[in-house]
Structure 1
Amino acid sequence: MLRDLLLGVLFGTFTGLTPGIHVNTLAVLLNGALLPSLTLFAMGLTHTYLDAFPSTFLGIPDEGTALSILPAHRLVLAGKGMEVIRIALYSSFLGTLFFTPLVPLYLAIAPMYTFTIGKAVVLLLMILLVLTEKGTKKLWAASIVILSGLVGLMILRISLNEPLYHLLTGLFGVPVILIALFYETSEVSPGSAELEMDTKSLVLFSFMGTLLGMIASLVPAFTSSQAALIGSFFSKDERSFLAVVYSTNTANFLFSLVNFLETGRARNGIVMRMSPMGLSTLYTFILASLFVGILVMLYGEVISKILASIVFKIPYRALNLGVLVFLIILSAYFDGASGILALAASSIVGILAVLLGVKRTNCMGALMVPVLLG
């Protein structure tokens, strides 16, 4: 058991810290090895703790951290990058702690879920996104929701190996990098990891993220980022919003496992590769989640600081230009010319949202519209 968990933590650390390599991708590559369920679980959970690194310092998002790109990047440019990493680790661990006492509640409500309820939640969220904009920006926000939705439909319905990579990187990663290329700065550093938010706020917004992660794990195609959108209506600044995003991401993974154990429904790529199990194994996974969380907390910040210090030895504009080229190469590697076209299409919508001055969260229409029409 211990060996299985440690192997999973090792794999999850690699995918979490490596830009563009999602834990699901590695799970597919290792599928022939018939990894034990505990190893797969530890991989996925570790990834949720550490995937803040590439999205924070390199602007490369995955499904769970797409919305964190802009707030995290603002803090990086202010020399607060390592604080983002600490917020990610702390809120992920708090999400793991809150997960355990909420399991009985989850077991009671999971069987009640219907697809109609899921669509209603997504529709309400789309309406709130538009209505929270001011004045004529409501019109521009609605346009971005529709445009991103059309792009999402197109990319998700054609035959691509990594559709979410092209979609989310274009909507959220590429615009941030392009803006950074024109950012007037000569010195950007990882900075101190000291938290500039009070403990009460960290705990409160992490608990909110845990509840939102519960919702995300119930609704098919309702992602961690979509759930975190709800938190954006309550968060008061970048730090509280990031706490919501990262705790939602971790809680979503954990509750998805419980959903699988109780109903047999697989809500993420890691769980899909697990052997069928019953609720009798739940206590083992709860203990495993605490073990993995404590272990990652011991080394996560240290290894992130070492890697960040290496990254920031490169001139900032050169770093961003290199990352942009790397993103395009990854798109070509995953899906050839089709991948590059998908990345370009989603990037245009992401840039347009910036030019129109509306919240980038409206780009989540790329995932919400397909859910409503699916």
Structure 2
Amino acid sequence: MLSELVFTLVGVAFGIVSGLVPGMHVNTLAAILLGIFYKYDFPGIPLAYFVIGMSVANAFSAFIPSIFLGAPDESTVLSVAPGHRMLKKGKGYEALALTVLGGAGGFLALIIALPLLITAVPFIYTAIRQYIQYILLLTVMFLVWKEERKLWAAFVFLLSSVFGIVSMNSNINSSFLLLPVLSGLFGLSTLVISYFTDSKIPVQRVKFRIKYKKYIPATVLGLFSGLIAGILPGIGTSQSAIIAQQLGRIRGPKKFMVVLGSIAVTDIMLSILAIYLVGNPRSGGAVAIQDFLGSKMSLSGVLAFMAAGLVSAVIAAYFTLKLGQSFGNLVSRVNYRQIVILAAVFLLSVIYAFSGPLGVLISITGAAIGIIPNLVGVKKSLLLGCLIVPTVLYFFGVSIYFV
């Protein structure tokens, strides 16, 4: 067990660092590990624990660049707008703390619910997997219907949908495609708006009181949404967060940040537990773990992985909060417009490194589209049409590819 613990801790270190760098996705790192596993005949079990530690830690630390720099990945993309609003009020660190609360609380809720999930998930999975596209369609219709400017809402959703489909037909590696798409729609667009509307960021408060009981419903809702994303095929954290936002009637950025933190962490664990629950892994990291195991996951394996995940969550939560304080101090001391420029240059550089000039073009196009909701007064979550429509079309058996 000592080797498993060591590999878990090393994975946590890698996960925290990778979470701070947009585009360095755990699925990509897991794919590299698979290559090492097959080429050098490396023992698989320690690598499985490494992936668990890395995945859980990444789910926590990835909110730091999303909130403070406007540089999201797929699991944190919806935190950009509410996180940035809180940042401009001196509450950026509080926003991060709420995601940590959601992640830690969601993991504890998952542990409590595990016996029920082991019994119920296989039946739920069989019952609703064929209706996913209809659930998403109803969610989108409700999302548009809620807006006062319904025509603009529909336009933004459809425009982002077309943008997503066209982007997916580019020759960019699918492992890196979401980086320019989501960074453009949510990250760069937020930075552009901020550059022209904000000249400074206030000192970030690091002392505040959080009433934990107030956020229990949001944490449980995040677990439910993480279950959707972690178990059902084709559903990511962003789509499940939209469903949670509508069904749970989440009001205010604070509760929503808790929901997002809970979804991010529980989705990671449930995508791995899906190997045992439904016989299929639901993420790149989970696929790697299944290969490392070389056999079916046992119940004892589930419990051991949960223990490794819990250790990872505790350590990652601590270091995420510590790093968040440093980021909060940095953004409040430097001229904010300079930070915006540096963040945009950094983000575009990362996009260029992973997806080339075409990725930069896609991200700039996405930024132009992402500004529209701010100009016309509709929610930026409508921009997730870029992910939702391709998912719906996939379930209807319609190809989104031109060739």
Q: Output aligned runs, 1:241-320, within 5 Å.
A: 241-274=256-289, 275=291, 276=293, 277-280=296-299, 281-320=301-340
Counterpart secondary structure, 1:289: helix
Which deviates more from structure 2 when the two are superposed, residues 68-77 or residues 307-316? 307-316
Cα distance, 1:52 vs structure 2: 1.0
Per-residue deviation, residues 268-293 of structure 1 (Å, max 9, x unmatched): 12112222441331010111122112
Which deviates more from structure 2 when the two are superposed, residues 281-290 or residues 104-113? 104-113
In structure 2, stretches of 5+ residues that fail to align are: 38-45, 395-403
In structure 1, stretches of 5+ residues that fail to align are: none
Matches of 1:113 and 1:16, distance apart in 2? 35
Cα distance, 1:116 vs structure 2: 2.4
Q: Output aligned runs, 1:1-374, within 5 Å.
A: 1-34=4-37, 36-107=47-118, 108-110=120-122, 111-113=125-127, 115-134=129-148, 137-161=149-173, 162-195=176-209, 197-233=210-246, 234-274=249-289, 275=291, 276=293, 277-280=296-299, 281-374=301-394
Cα distance, 1:122 vs structure 2: 1.1
Matches of 2:9 and 2:202, distance apart in 1? 35
Cα distance, 1:344 vs structure 2: 2.2
Counterpart secondary structure, 1:78: coil
Matches of 1:109 and 1:324, distance apart in 2? 42
Per-residue deviation, residues 148-181 of structure 1 (Å, max 9, x unmatched): 1111112223331211111111111111101110
Q: Is the 8 A contact 2:22 2:350 kept in 1?
A: no
Per-residue deviation, residues 102-126 of structure 1 (Å, max 9, x unmatched): 2233332334155422112211111
Matches of 2:63 and 2:268, distance apart in 1? 15
Matches of 1:97 and 1:331, distance apart in 2? 35
Counterpart secondary structure, 1:123: helix
Amino acid at match of 1:2: L
Cα distance, 1:78 vs structure 2: 0.6
Normalised by the length of structure 2, the TM-score is 0.87
Normalised by the length of structure 1, the TM-score is 0.93
Amino acid at match of 1:346: G
Cα distance, 1:219 vs structure 2: 2.5
Matches of 1:289 and 1:158, distance apart in 2? 36
Cα distance, 1:294 vs structure 2: 1.9
Q: Is the 8 A contact 1:67 1:225 kept in 2?
A: yes
Q: Is the 8 A contact 1:84 1:193 kept in 2?
A: no
4+ aligned runs moved over 6 Å, structure 1: none
RMSD: 1.9
Matches of 1:202 and 1:15, distance apart in 2? 28
